[in-house]
Amino acid sequence: MNNWELLMAGIKLLIFGMGMVYIFLVIMIWVMDLLKRFLRPYDERLEAAAAASAAAAAKARRAKAPAIASGGEPTLAAAAAVAVHLALNGGPVRQVTVTEQVASGSPAAAPVRVQDVGSPLPGTVNRVLLTVGSAVAAGEPVLVLEAMKMETEIKAEHAGTITAIPVAAGQVVAVGDPLFSMEVK
């Protein structure tokens, strides 16, 4: 093979390689367009979740109480996490609800905050570490979930008392299934 044939082979290889890059870029543009069309229905849900979070944070500031249900001030990272979770699962990121209940007896009694904690991921309940009526400290593990051979401790976010644990060891749970309820101190 002489130099001329070698040069022509190199030019052909270069043109073929550039053509492959061009085809790859066209396919990537097409995939990005499909993703944009697929995620468009989630835009309204993301905006609604961000508005609800901002409203809960504003209400908590007015009441000078911590924003338990909203997780605090919405940030760009939190909004991105909500967007990704909504796109993948179509559900809320955290399944935590807080309700105010008046204790039985006198109506002047202080309201009791009850926090219901849902499963943040699908999996199997591996171990239940506490029982109903147990006092729990903030950050203390309540139960352990297993998903894909990985164990995840589900911890209490606030100090309080466990009022209900509707799951048992070995039970399979989905995202949002109730794991435990507690009275927040």
pTM above 0.95, yes or no: no
- pLDDT tens per residue across span 119-164: 888 889 999 999 999 999 999 999 999 988 889 899 988 899 999 9
Residue 121: C-alpha distances to residues 3, 47, 59, 148 (Å): 63, 23, 29, 11
Distance CA 116, CA 158 (A): 12
Q: How confident is the model at residue 66 (pLDDT cuts 50, 70, 90)?
A: very low
Instruction: Give all domains of the chain, ordered by start, each with its CATH number.
Output: 1-92 (no CATH), 94-185 (2.40.50.100)
Asked if 173 contacts 122 with a C-beta cutoff of 8 angstroms, the reply is: yes
- pLDDT tens per residue across span 71-106: 444 455 555 665 665 556 555 444 444 444 544 555
Distance CA 134, CA 112 (A): 17
Q: Helices 76-89 and 3-63 meet at what angle, rounded to 10?
A: 110
pLDDT at 95: 45
Asked if 48 contacts 74 with a C-beta cutoff of 8 angstroms, the reply is: no
Decide: residue 92, CB within 10 A, 0-12 exposed, 13-18 middle, 19+ buried: middle
